[in-house]
């Protein structure tokens, strides 16, 4: 008898089929890894099992009982726990109090922390390695300790099946290894685990069985070695075959004798005592499309925020031969480095046209109008949404607007941080076509940060692989799978 049996599970969000007839089983005491690129349906699958989202069709059986459509609290009482992808601790309470809250009886009339609950919370904290910091508040702890605290809360209900959504995101290699030990110990207590993470290497080393999904569908299942060797999995993760299909590179590579437009030497960034970037060297020449690829938490966003003047750093950043150190973000933007962030940061109550007009505030009216007409041809769907408020656009339309807004002030270097995040495949293809047209028509210099390696390979002339805050490899796209694929998988 399988502990969990999922069959024909489907979930649609509007026109997006996020989970498509998913089949999944978990045996007692087994660790199953669920892998796939951004937007493949991993987190949605966990949400459906936990009752956070309701499926459109399908069956979810736990210990032979149908739980599909049950409310979350009932599923939790039945024996399933979930570690959410994002941590939301109570910041005014101690670690011990955060854990104890998860132990309170399921009753509105019981809000007091008894001596017995405190002892149980202390034991849980010690079990996940937090015994020395139970009196501290979450804000004073390293990120890895906060994730351990969230794990303690997830096992407070003594679940027989534990769903872990991105437990390694943002952790260093050493922290991920330590957390893996905690997860193995939980399995040793007889619990089964479904593990979702972008860190394929970390998942591979920990799980008994692996399931790969893409655009909501299962594409491979078996032992970790079998799944990683599957041709379809390698194409999804490493983009094998994509270079032959693309018109890449779209712009001739720059002459190597010329000085780089952007030069980064020995860049290091710390968050408290944690080092997010470690001695990073990088250069971008005029007219190049360069990608920085890596998993969640590798340091891509930190790198871009340092380049844009949002973070203090050690090392040197040179722009057109001159140092940028201590320059303010506004001065960096005026110098021609425009950053399109992962979070988009649109003005939601303003229309599409108003967002574009605001970006052209310092541009003469005639040039701004000409630029806007060109951008609306590049992103034709925005032309049909000109008067629509930005917050009412779909995720893909918002991403196109964010890129168009970044292009309005005529940047010399456009930094794109995770532009494909959460996009449906059809929207992703539209964005890819727009990127190709942008390069053909303008020859703009672009620095891209991406987890979606297929997208990066299709457009880039050179790639840097960022791993735990360090450059692990760099070179041309055609050499990536052979020389760096093992590091990515």
Question: What local confidence, expressed as pLDDT, does residue 396 receive?
Answer: 81
Give 108 or 48, the one with higher predicted confidence.
48
Question: What local confidence, expressed as pLDDT, does residue 256 receive?
Answer: 53
Question: What local confidence, expressed as pLDDT, does residue 194 receive?
Answer: 95
Q: What percent of the chain has pLDDT over 90?
A: 41
What are the structural domains, with CATH classification, of the chain? 4-238 (3.40.50.300), 242-336+411-488 (3.40.50.300)
Asked whether residue 258 carries a pLDDT value surpassing 80, the answer given is: no
Question: What local confidence, expressed as pLDDT, does residue 367 receive?
Answer: 85
Question: What local confidence, expressed as pLDDT, does residue 166 receive?
Answer: 85
Strands 413-417 and 337-340: parallel
In angstroms, the CA 167 to CA 185 distance is: 15
Average pLDDT, the chain: 86
Question: What local confidence, expressed as pLDDT, does residue 252 receive?
Answer: 47
Write out pLDDT tens, residues 98-142: 898 888 876 655 556 678 888 999 999 998 888 889 999 988 888
Residue with tokens 């509105």: 108
The count of C-alpha atoms lying within 13 angstroms of the C-alpha of 402, restricted to the half-sphere facing its C-beta, is 25
In angstroms, the CA 386 to CA 167 distance is: 40
* Nearby residues of 342 by Cβ (< 8 Å), 6 or more positions away: 301, 417, 418, 421, 449
Question: What local confidence, expressed as pLDDT, does residue 484 receive?
Answer: 80
Question: What local confidence, expressed as pLDDT, does residue 251 receive?
Answer: 42
The residue-averaged pLDDT of 479-487 equals 79
Q: What percent of the chain has pLDDT over 70?
A: 93
Give 285 or 93, the one with higher predicted confidence.
285
Give 37 or 357, the one with higher predicted confidence.
357
Question: What local confidence, expressed as pLDDT, does residue 174 receive?
Answer: 78
Question: What local confidence, expressed as pLDDT, does residue 478 receive?
Answer: 83
Asked whether residue 267 carries a pLDDT value surpassing 70, the answer given is: yes
In angstroms, the CA 288 to CA 306 distance is: 20
| Backbone φ, ψ for residue 450 (5° rounding) | -150, 145
Question: What local confidence, expressed as pLDDT, does residue 291 receive?
Answer: 94
Cα-based distances in Å from 364 to 64, 353, 367, 400: 68, 16, 5, 23
Highest mean pLDDT, choosing among 28-32, 37-41, 356-360, 425-429: 28-32
Question: What local confidence, expressed as pLDDT, does residue 424 receive?
Answer: 67
Residue 380: CB atoms within 10 Å: 11
Lowest mean pLDDT among 33-37, 61-65, 66-70: 33-37
Question: What local confidence, expressed as pLDDT, does residue 397 receive?
Answer: 86
Question: What local confidence, expressed as pLDDT, does residue 25 receive?
Answer: 95
The pLDDT confidence band at residue 249, using thresholds 50, 70 and 90, is very low
Angle at which helices 365-378 and 395-407 cross, to 10°: 140
Write out pLDDT tens, residues 141-200: 888 888 889 989 998 888 999 999 988 876 777 778 888 888 898 888 889 999 998 778
Highest mean pLDDT, choosing among 60-69, 293-302, 412-421: 60-69
Per-residue b or e along 62-78, where b marks 16 or more CB atoms closer than 10 Å to that residue's CB? beeeebbebeeeebbeb
Q: Are the CB atoms for 20 and 10 separated by under 8 Å?
A: yes
Write out pLDDT tens, residues 427-481: 778 888 888 888 888 889 999 998 888 888 888 999 999 988 899 999 998 888 7
Asked whether residue 386 carries a pLDDT value surpassing 90, the answer given is: no
């Amino acid at each position: 008898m399988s502990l969990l049996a999922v069959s024909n599970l489907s979930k649609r969000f509007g026109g997006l089929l996020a989970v498509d007839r998913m089949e999944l089983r978990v045996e007692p005491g087994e660790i199953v890894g669920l892998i796939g690129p951004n937007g493949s349906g991993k987190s949605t699958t966990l949400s459906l099992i936990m009752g956070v989202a309701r499926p459109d069709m399908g069956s979810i059986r736990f210990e032979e009982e149908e739980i599909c459509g049950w409310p979350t609290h009932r599923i939790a009482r039945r024996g399933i726990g979930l570690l959410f992808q994002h941590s939301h601790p109570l910041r005014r309470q101690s670690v011990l109090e955060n854990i104890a809250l998860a132990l309170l009886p399921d009753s509105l009339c019981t809000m007091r922390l008894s001596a017995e609950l405190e002892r149980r919370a202390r034991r849980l904290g010690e079990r996940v390695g937090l015994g020395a910091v139970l009196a501290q508040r979450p804000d004073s702890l390293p990120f890895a300790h906060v994730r351990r605290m969230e794990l303690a809360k997830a096992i407070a209900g003594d679940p027989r099946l534990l769903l872990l959504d991105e437990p390694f995101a943002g952790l260093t290699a050493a922290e991920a290894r330590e957390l893996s030990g905690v997860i193995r110990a939980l399995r040793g207590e007889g619990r089964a685990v479904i593990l979702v993470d972008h860190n394929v290497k970390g998942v591979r080393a920990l799980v008994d069985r692996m399931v790969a999904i893409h655009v909501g569908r299962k594409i491979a299942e078996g032992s970790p070695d079998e799944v990683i060797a599957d041709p379809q999995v390698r194409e999804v993760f490493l983009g094998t075959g994509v270079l032959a299909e693309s018109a890449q590179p779209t712009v001739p590579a720059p002459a190597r004798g010329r000085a780089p437009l952007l030069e980064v030497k020995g860049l290091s960034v710390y968050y408290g005592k944690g080092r997010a970037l470690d001695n990073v060297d990088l250069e971008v020449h005029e007219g190049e499309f360069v990608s920085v690829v890596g998993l969640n938490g590798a340091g891509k966003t930190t790198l871009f925020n340092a380049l844009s003047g949002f973070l203090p750093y050690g090392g040197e950043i040179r722009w057109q031969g001159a140092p940028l150190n201590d320059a303010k973000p506004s001065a960096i933007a005026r110098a021609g480095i425009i950053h399109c962030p992962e979070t988009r940061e649109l003005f939601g109550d303003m229309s599409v046209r108003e967002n574009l007009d605001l970006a052209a505030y310092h541009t003469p009216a005639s040039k701004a109008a000409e630029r806007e007409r060109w951008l609306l041809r590049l992103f034709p769907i925005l032309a049909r949404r000109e008067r629509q408020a930005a917050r009412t656009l779909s995720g893909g339309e918002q991403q196109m607007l964010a890129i168009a807004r970044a292009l309005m002030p005529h940047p010399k270097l456009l930094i794109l941080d995770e532009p494909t995040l959460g996009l449906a495949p059809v929207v992703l293809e539209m964005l890819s076509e727009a990127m190709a047209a942008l390069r053909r028509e303008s020859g703009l210099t672009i620095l891209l940060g991406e987890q979606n390696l297929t997208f990066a390979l299709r457009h880039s002339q050179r790639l840097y692989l960022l791993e735990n805050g360090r450059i692990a490899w760099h070179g041309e796209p055609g050499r990536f799978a052979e020389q760096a694929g093992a590091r990515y998988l």
